[in-house]
Amino acid sequence: MSTRRDDGLRVAIVGGGIGGLAAAAFLERAGVKAVVYEQARELKEVGAGLVVAPNAARLIRRLGGLDMLEQRAVPLDVGWEFRRWRDGTVLSAENLAGACERLYGERTYTVHRADLLDVVRAAVPSANVRLGRRCVGVEDSGGGVRLRFADGTVEEADVAIGADGVHSVLRGAVTEPSAPEYSGICAFRAVVPAGKAPAFALRRAQTLWIGPGHHLVHYPVSRGQAVNLVAFAPAGDYTKESWSATATVAEFLAEFEGWDARLTDLIRAGGTPGRWALLDRAPLRRWSRGRVSLLGDAAHPMFPFFAQGAAQSIEDGAVLAGCLAADPQDPARALRRYEELRIERTTKLQQVSHARAHLNHLPDGPEQQARDAALQDADPLVANSWIYDYDAETVGATATT
């Protein structure tokens, strides 16, 4: 239950994606006034699926959204099922059913991005979301912030949070502007209707096919009514970073020529795929300045190879809320504390996600054979306890210590 503070602290959040709405929801839960400004005229998520690991699931439960999530998501029974590219040989697989709850108190789910956005939005009062508002700049006067919008309007608040993605407008207010670099990797994506998907792809499993220069991931979403398919390949001279861009099925298949026929059949069943270039940014040394701060991809964009991008945005929102609720009289100090509590963890996740691309894409040979042997002995559910055991609300509650 929200217990509104009397101090009247006003927080402006630029960006109505999963991270921005999560921040608004946790601020509401902490009794802090937050308004979300989103440039689109309707809230929606393009793209496809994502993984909701225990560290995110426990926060969604706190927001009262777990029942809604379970109505739309797929609880995983198997995770990290690595398969060899040529023949589908299973290199390793982890039993998640029961193990996640025993270790971390929550299950791991797969969900369509649009469904997760709906779950988080349900925790934010509709009056606190302003659509069709494209922010073009922010000014910090020391005693407050002024946000300028493309329609010529200006809004004032005590704090501004940039949840506006890798091309963040607010990022320039806290650090030197710099263009993201192209990673040399591009991604393909598709959503395959369950009726067209082969049975092996409908299992409640997160499967990763790994091979020379490429890897492909698939898992069911939308209560098992579809299969999310995302694949990674060398980008060549392709540099378009847009989730509305498409490729042809032939282009997608050409990248996976010679791979297991079950996989290429799955690609064909997905129809016209999306395609985008992965952008790369070095971790920031700071993401707060004065009364302006960042969260999610605006602060720490990461490769999707640990499936933690959305989870880290949600965690940011929970810690941010704890810090601002604990120190409303000095928002700049609260934002510095938020950064201190988050930056080491998100930087580490950026780094390990980046390194995973090399391991997944090894050419056949001695190094690949050593990797495959290591996978057989691995226990990623336990090895990644530093990710899944983290409780962002508890961390946020330490804001005054």
Catalytic residue status for 219:
yes
Q: Output the six-digit token pair for 168.
A: 């963040």
What pLDDT is recorded for position 393? 92
Among 293, 303, 298, which residue's Cα sits nearest to residue 323? 293
Q: How far apart are CA 106 and CA 65, in angstroms?
A: 13
DSSP β-ladder status, 181-193 and 226-234: antiparallel
The string of pLDDT tens digits covering residues 361-382 is 999 999 999 999 999 998 999 9
Determine which one of 37, 104, 109, 219 is catalytic: 219
Domain residue spans in the chain?
Answer: 10-179+281-399
Return the closest-CA partner of residue 289 out of 161, 149, 178, 148: 161
> For the segment 261-319, what is each residue's pLDDT rounded down to a tens digit?
999 999 999 999 999 988 888 899 999 999 999 999 999 999 999 999 999 999 999 99
Location of structure tokens 């392709």: 238
- Is the distance from CB of 193 to CB of 270 less than 8 angstroms? no
Please tell me the CATH superfamily of domain 10-179+281-399, with its number: FAD/NAD(P)-binding domain (3.50.50.60)
pLDDT at 101 over 80: yes
CB burial string 86-116: b at 16+ within 10 A, e below = eeeeebbbbebeebbeeebebbbbbbbbbbb
Q: At a CB cut-off of 8 Å and minimum separation 6, what does 25 contact?
A: 63, 120, 123, 124, 317
Residue 55 has pLDDT above 80, yes or no: yes
Confidence of residue 45 (pLDDT cuts 50, 70, 90): low
Residues whose CB falls within 8 Å of the CB of residue 390, separated by 6 or more in sequence, listed in order: 55, 315, 345
- Look at residue 14 in the predicted model and tell me its pLDDT: 98
